[in-house]
Structure 1
Amino acid sequence: MTVGRICTREVDLVDAHESVQIAAERMNARNVGTLIVLDQESHPIGMITDRDLALRVVAKGRDSIQTLVSEIMTQFPYNVTEETSIEIALSKMRAGGFRRLPVVDAAGKLIGVVSLDDILELLCSEFTDIGNLIRKESPESLAQS
Structure 2
Amino acid sequence: MAQFVREVMTPAATTVRPDASLVEAAQLMRAQDIGDVLVARGGRLMGVLTDRDIALRAVADGVDPLSVSCQSVCTPDPVTVGPGMEIAAALDLMRSHAIRRLPVLDSGGRLTGMVSIGDLAQERDPDSVLAEISRAAPDTWIQEGASHWS
Normalised by the length of structure 1, the TM-score is 0.79
Which piece of structure 1 moves more, 107-116 or 68-77? Answer: 68-77
Q: Which residue of 1 aligns with 2:122?
A: 121
**2:46–2:71 CA contact under 8 A, matched in 1:** no
Instruction: Kindly indicate which of the two structures has a greater share of residues assigned to helix.
Output: 1
Q: CA deviation at 1:94?
A: 2.2
1:62 counterpart = 2:25: no
- SS of residue matched to 2:56: helix
Matched letter for residue 110 of structure 2: K
Q: What does 1:1-145 align with in structure 2 at a 5 Å threshold?
A: 1-40=3-42, 42-125=43-126
Separation in structure 2 between the aligned mates of residue 82 and residue 126 of structure 1, nearest angstrom: 25
Following superposition, the deviation at residue 95 of structure 1 comes to: 2.6
TM-score, normalization by structure 2: 0.77
Identity of aligned residues (%): 33
Aligned-residue RMSD, C-alpha = 1.7
Larger radius of gyration: 1
SS in 2 for 1:35: strand
Q: Give the drift of 1:65.
A: 1.0
Residue deviations 1:32-76 (CA, integer Å, cap 9, x gap) = 211111133x12221111111111111111110111111110123
Task: Spell out structure 1 runs of 4+ moving beyond 3 A.
Answer: none
Unaligned 5+ segments in structure 2 are: 129-150
**Number of residue equivalences:** 126
